[in-house]
Amino acid sequence: MCGIVGYVGSRDTVTVLLESLKRLEYRGYDSAGVVVINGKGLLHEKATGNISSLETALNGGEMKGRTGLGHTRWATHGGVTRENAHPHFSCDSRVAVVHNGIVENYAELKASLSSRHVFRSGTDTEVIPHLIEEAYPECGKDPLRAIRAAMKRMHGSFALAVVFADHPDVIYVARVNCPIVLGLGDGESFLASDIAALLPYTRRVIPLEEGELARLEPSGVTVLDFDFRSKERKPLEIPWSLEMTNKGSFAHFMLKEIHEQKHTLASELIGRAEGLEGLALPDGIRRVVITACGTAWHAGLVGKLALEELARVPVDVWLASELRYADYPFGKDTLTIAVSQSGETADTLASVRLAREAGSTVLAVTNVRGSTLDREADLVVHMRCGPERGVAATKTYTSQILHMILLAMQLGRARGTLPDARHDQLKKELDLLPRRAAEILDQSEPLERCAREIAQDCSFIYIGRRYNLPTAYEGALKMKEISYLHAEGYGAGEMKHGPLALVDARMMCVAIAPEGRVTDKVVSNIQEIRARNGRVIAIGTRGDARIPAVADHVLEIPRCDELLSPVLAVIPLQLLAYHSAVKLGRNVDQPRNLAKSVTVE
Ligand code: F6R
């Protein structure tokens, strides 16, 4: 979490830093700061709140310089205060640092430094400039050697960018377990925690790899290993355009991204129903493990059912934060599928490293080319969603589900478990999916009405079964993360085993009941709720008379194969959460306490 940016070149540095920080704001928005180098030394400004508060604090001021760093914070160590905002400085204010990650042994380091150094913040980060300050004279005033010496004393994860008043045209960068991308321009160089921040300026990037250092100058970037040997790195050309990162005519990024599903689903499918391009799945897979966090984990749950149905292979789905501390018996015949929009989620990466060490082949499904997951996995499938800026994942979730289904089809064909007739039927259904999603999106007025009526309800329980139990989890997650209303997802068949006790007239139940093998079962579960005065919103298939008969509100989706229903059924739930949050006046794109990329444990 936290976003860091840097610029060296001849543009107005503060303008570049602010523009880039705005594109990283989804990573954290507690406080922000910038530092620039000019003839007077290091000048800085900080503010609590989001980037616009920093802009106000800068007040169109005179902070000019050719080199600068910026930071947007998601607090881990130390409260949200101006002092705790980055950059942090050495005692002599000649070294400034911005940092993403956690210095795990900071307390011990701070204790050992505090007799010789003045600390001005309560952060873990502040030990870094002081460590560099101590090492600098000992390293013959060589900045990279001083940074390396400081890093040797630190444990944890970090992406660092450092400037020295003695070296006004250089930014120094280091990476240990946190992402950082370098951008190449003409007579200028950039850095950022992710690609989105660089798009206004360049699409030629070098993602720094684990254990690399870099020196950024207007003339270009030099990448080095920890022994200061220079490394040849070929830049990547990013296929995203700047327009993709703008809101267009939508009020929020989340709403834009929900509506984009008409197009993203179609582009995911181009040329893929016969197999994911270039993806050669290993022979002899006897088991699949899916590892992911949050929304991506919900997509993994759909993946399990699809793989078990179509490829007849046993699948375990793990929260990556649990898998990394489990003693899972990975084997060489285990295919590990890691699902991650950002490709930078710390727990997902840790579980992938565990799997690879144990000899399992790792297949990544990710939206971000050049991300750590993209580079570390054995096999990769790239989602074609374009950048997602709303903190709540929407278009990437439906794409992830689609990829799970496409993988299941490909593996099913390879294993001879997917009959031609079923394959062809699914292909036809997939072709119709984007149009069906568009139908839901183009008729969203009843949804808005429903959201307006329910938004004051304080508690929701989302229920579903089979392919739509993950939809219940995901619908509840969307509601809680952006509206701050309490919402839980639960197996409809599990209500009797406890949660039914929660049901009363103040509880709103959202039942996901599209046509399929378990519709009648879910209808019975709804009846049990109504018998206890619970109110029910149901997602049902258009024309299915069973649903209006039992629900207070019905949100219809077009008829489709049950296997594809989680793609369609989640769209009304995304909209329901969105409109409820808007009605309640929430900050939809930047919900409190959250950040989009969870790059620390
Ligand atoms: C919720 C949400 C998160 C992410 C989770 C994993 O809307 O976005 O739950 O799904 O943090 O992130 P990625 O997919 O980047 O690994």
Task: Kindly report, residue by residue over 212-268, the tens digit of the pLDDT.
Answer: 999 999 999 999 999 999 999 999 998 888 778 888 899 999 999 999 999 999 999
Atom 7 of ligand 1, nearest CA residue: 392
pLDDT of residue 309: 98
CA–centroid distance, 306 to ligand 1, in Å, is 21
Query: Residue 242 carries which side chain, given as an amino acid letter?
Result: L
In this structure, the strands spanning 3-8 and 189-192 are antiparallel
pLDDT of residue 279: 87
Point out the residues that are catalytic.
Answer: 2, 596
Q: Return the exposure string of 139-148: e unless at least 16 CB atoms fall within 10 Å of the residue's CB, then b.
A: beeebbbbbb
pLDDT of residue 192: 96
* pTM of the predicted structure, to 2 decimals: 0.85
Place of tokens 């705790």: 84
pLDDT of residue 360: 97
Atom 11 of ligand 1, nearest CA residue: 294
CA–centroid distance, 296 to ligand 1, in Å, is 6
Q: Who lines ligand 1 at CB under 6 A?
A: 293-296, 340-342, 345, 348, 392-393, 477, 481, 597-598
Alpha-carbon distance of 144 to 121, in angstroms, equals 25
pLDDT of residue 457: 67
Place of tokens 């007739």: 421
Atom of ligand 1 nearest to the CA of 341: 14
CA–centroid distance, 397 to ligand 1, in Å, is 9
Alpha-carbon distance of 223 to 216, in angstroms, equals 9
CA–centroid distance, 337 to ligand 1, in Å, is 16
Q: Which residues of the chain have pLDDT under 50?
A: none
DSSP type of residue 344: -
- Testing ligand 1's pocket by substitution, the residue of 290, 293, 399 carrying the most ligand atoms inside 8 A of its CB is 293
CA–centroid distance, 558 to ligand 1, in Å, is 27
DSSP type of residue 494: G
Atom of ligand 1 nearest to the CA of 294: 9
pLDDT of residue 601: 77
Atom of ligand 1 nearest to the CA of 297: 10
Atom 8 of ligand 1, nearest CA residue: 393
Give one word for 114, left, alpha or beta, with left for phi > 0 and alpha for psi -120 to 50: alpha
Distance linking the first and last C-alpha atoms of the chain = 10
Backbone angles phi, psi at 303, to 5 degrees: -60, -40
